[in-house]
Amino acid sequence: MPYAPRRHRVAALACLVAMAAALLAWAVPASADEADGGRLDWGVKESFRSYMTGPIAQGEITTGDGVSTVGGVYRFHSATGEYDPDSGTASITYTGWVHFWGHDGELDVTFANPSIEYSGSSGTLYVYVNGTRTDMASLSGPAIGGQSGTVAVEGASATLTASGAQAFAGFYEAGAALDPVGFTADVIAAEPEPSSAAPEPSEAAPSEDGEVAGAILDWGVRASWRDYVSGDIAAGSWRAADGAQDGGALFRFTDGAGEAAGGDYELTFVGSVAFTGEGVDLTIADPVVTAEDGRGVLSAEVDGERIDLAEFEAELDERDGLLIAEDVPTTLSEAAVEAFSGYYQGGDEMDPLTIAVPLTADAELPALPDLGSDPETESPSPSEAEAAPAEDETSPLVWAVPAALLVLLAAAATAIAIRRRKADRTETGEAAFEKEPADQTSSTTPSEPSDEGENTKEQ
C-alpha cells in the first residue's frame, strides 16, 4: 500500500517546511526601530480654539511641559516608541499638554501626551483627556515614510471618534473633522551599532577659581513673539544654528563657559536663533548672562550688535551636581525695545530662562524638548549613506539563509523521493512510482487536517 509511506513523507516535508519557515523568520532581522525624538503638530480644531477665546466661552488656552504653538498649532515633542520599517507601522508617544478653560471653569479640559498608532496610511490618534487615555481621532493620510533615520506623516486628516466626542461634551459628533495631524520621529535601527558615543558630555568641572564650562542657557524669548513670527501675519519661522538647539517652546544655547563664584557669575554661550518672516528679520546670537548679587542681565549679539536683551533676578543653587537657576522670570531691557520694533516695552514680561552649569562629569542637564530632525531638509551624508544601507535594500544575509534552506529542502525532498522509490519498487514495482506525482499534489497540503485516522496512526 503506497498511502502510509506517502503520508509519512508528507509529514516529513511539512516538518521541513515548518522548520524552514521558522528559520526564515529568524533570519529576517528584528525590525522594530526605536523612535527617539520628534514632534507632533495638531491644532485640535480651529473653530474650537476660536470658541475658547471668543465671547461665548471667554476662556483661555494654556500650554505646558514644553508644548509650543507654531502657526496656531500645538507642537508636542520628545517622541518615544517604535517604528517597524518592514510593515510601515508606528507606535509613538509625544510629550506635553494643552489646557482649555472657559465658561468660568465649566469647561476645563486638558489634552496631554498624544500618541499615534499608524500603519501604512491610516491610524489612530490617542490623547490623555483629563488624565484618561482616549482614542480621539481616526487618521488617514499619506503613507508613513522618511529618509535619513526620520519618519514622518504630514497632514493626515483626523475625524473624531465616539469616545473623542465625549471630550467635547457632545458639541461635536463622531465623524466631525478635526484639524489635520502631522508627526515626525527620529528612528534608531533596531540592531544597536557598536557605538563610541560617550554619555552626555560634561566638559569641565569648576576649577578652584570658579571657572566653569559646558553650561546651557534655555530661553524662549517670548511666547507671543514666536506665535507672531509663525502666525498668519508674519507667516515666518525660526532657525537655531551654530550650537543653539530648538526645543520648540525654548531655545538652548550651549557650551557656556565663564566664572561662577558665590552668587555672581558671568557665562558666555554659543548659538544663534534667526527669526524670519514678513517684516521680521531678527537674529539673536551668542548670549551672555552676567549676575551680581543675584541681579542678572542677559545680553546677546542682535543683528551684529551686542545689546542687553533681558533682566532677571537669580542666584545659582547647587543641586544634583549642577549650579542651576530654573524658570527664572525675565523682563525686556530698554535697550532691546527697538529690536522688537517697539511692539514690546521695557519691563514687559519675556519668557523665563534656565541656566545650568555642570559641576561633575555625570551631572544631568535639564532635558530639552526633543523635536527630532527635520525630515524635509535632511539628506544622508555620503559617509552615512555608505555606512547604513537604505531601508529597502536587503542585506545579502537575508537571502543567503533562505537560499541555503531551499537547497536543504530540495536535498531532503530528493532523498525522500529516492527512498520512496526504492520502497515502491519493493512493494509495487515501477508502475506505482510513475503515478506518484498526481497522488502527491492531491493529498499533501501540509496544513490540511487529515481525516484518515488509521493512516496517521500508521506513521
CB of 325 to ligand HEM, least distance (A): 38
169 vs 233 by CB, closer to ligand HEM: 169
The secondary structure of residue 338, as a DSSP letter, is G
Cα–Cα distance for residue pair 159/315, rounded to 1 Å: 49
Asked if 320 contacts 363 with a C-beta cutoff of 8 angstroms, the reply is: yes
CB of 106 to ligand HEM, least distance (A): 4
CB of 99 to ligand HEM, least distance (A): 12
31 vs 110 by CB, closer to ligand HEM: 110
106 vs 338 by CB, closer to ligand HEM: 106
Residues that bind ligand HEM (CB under 6 A): 45, 47-48, 51, 56, 103, 106-107, 109, 168-169, 171-172
105 vs 342 by CB, closer to ligand HEM: 105
112 vs 213 by CB, closer to ligand HEM: 112
169 vs 407 by CB, closer to ligand HEM: 169
CB of 231 to ligand HEM, least distance (A): 20
CB of 157 to ligand HEM, least distance (A): 17
Cα–Cα distance for residue pair 327/323, rounded to 1 Å: 14
57 vs 156 by CB, closer to ligand HEM: 57
Rounded to 5 degrees, what angle do the CA atoms 398, 400, 403 make? Answer: 110
DSSP string, 219-286: E-S-HHHHHHHHSTTT--EEEEETT-EE-SSSEEEEEEEEEEETTEEEEEEE-EEEEEETTEEEEEEE
58 vs 345 by CB, closer to ligand HEM: 58
Dihedral-angle region of residue 303 (phi above 0 means left; psi in -120 to 50 means alpha; beta otherwise): left
Strands (E) in 43-149, as ranges, are 60-64, 68-70, 73-84, 89-95, 97-102, 107-119, 122-129, 132-140, 145-147
The x, y and z cell numbers of residue 172, run together, are: 461635536
56 vs 403 by CB, closer to ligand HEM: 56
CB of 116 to ligand HEM, least distance (A): 22
Strands 272-277 and 280-292: antiparallel
Cα–Cα distance for residue pair 120/143, rounded to 1 Å: 5
103 vs 435 by CB, closer to ligand HEM: 103
CB of 165 to ligand HEM, least distance (A): 9
Asked if 7 contacts 444 with a C-beta cutoff of 8 angstroms, the reply is: no
Residue 178 is inside which H or E element, if any? strand 177-188
CB of 54 to ligand HEM, least distance (A): 7
Q: Which of 356, 377, 378, 353 is nearest to 366 (CA)?
A: 356
The secondary structure of residue 30, as a DSSP letter, is P
> CA-CA-CA-CA torsion for 21, 24, 30, 32, nearest 10 degrees?
-60
Q: Which of 435, 449, 422, 430 is nearest to 5 (CA)?
A: 422
Asked if 182 contacts 141 with a C-beta cutoff of 8 angstroms, the reply is: no
CB of 57 to ligand HEM, least distance (A): 6
Cα–Cα distance for residue pair 40/38, rounded to 1 Å: 7
CB of 114 to ligand HEM, least distance (A): 17
